[in-house]
Amino acid sequence: MTTKDLVEKIDLKPLSKFAHRDVDGVFVSDMVSDVMAGAKSGNLWLTVQTHKSIVPAANLVDVSAIIITSGKEVPEATVDLAGKFNIAILSTELPTFELVGKLYELGLGKK
């Protein structure tokens, strides 16, 4: 599955400029330090955090995309920084729990 597939299937809203990538798993946390310690390259990162610090963390781990849940508004400075590093920031009105269920139904997280 790719980020393009997810944008279409779950109706995610792309916020930053990025190249679509393959997705391999999901990591859920609102703590940047958790992401740096536990997320894997190719994971989707689901969070409600919108500050600029999410971009360097996503870049360090090499996540496929950051998905901002619960309709949180993302500051323009965060979106601009993500675009400079080709980091996908996607947005959804869905709460994190509902989005996890949809991703699981699509086969992410199943082994």
- The ranges of the chain with pLDDT < 70 are 110-111
Domains and CATH numbers, the chain: 3-105 (3.40.1390.20)
pLDDT at 8: 95
The Cα–Cα gap between 68 and 84 comes to 18
Instruction: Please state, in angstroms and rounded to a whole number, the distance separating the CA atoms of residues 34 and 60.
Output: 12
Quote the pLDDT of residue 109. 75
**Res 56: pLDDT:** 97
Average pLDDT, the chain: 96
User: Could you give the angle at the alpha carbon of 57 between the alpha carbons of 54 and 62, nearest 5°?
Assistant: 120
For the whole model, what pTM was predicted?
A: 0.95
Q: Residue 88: what residue type?
A: A
pLDDT number for residue 78: 98
Is 103 strand, coil or helix? helix
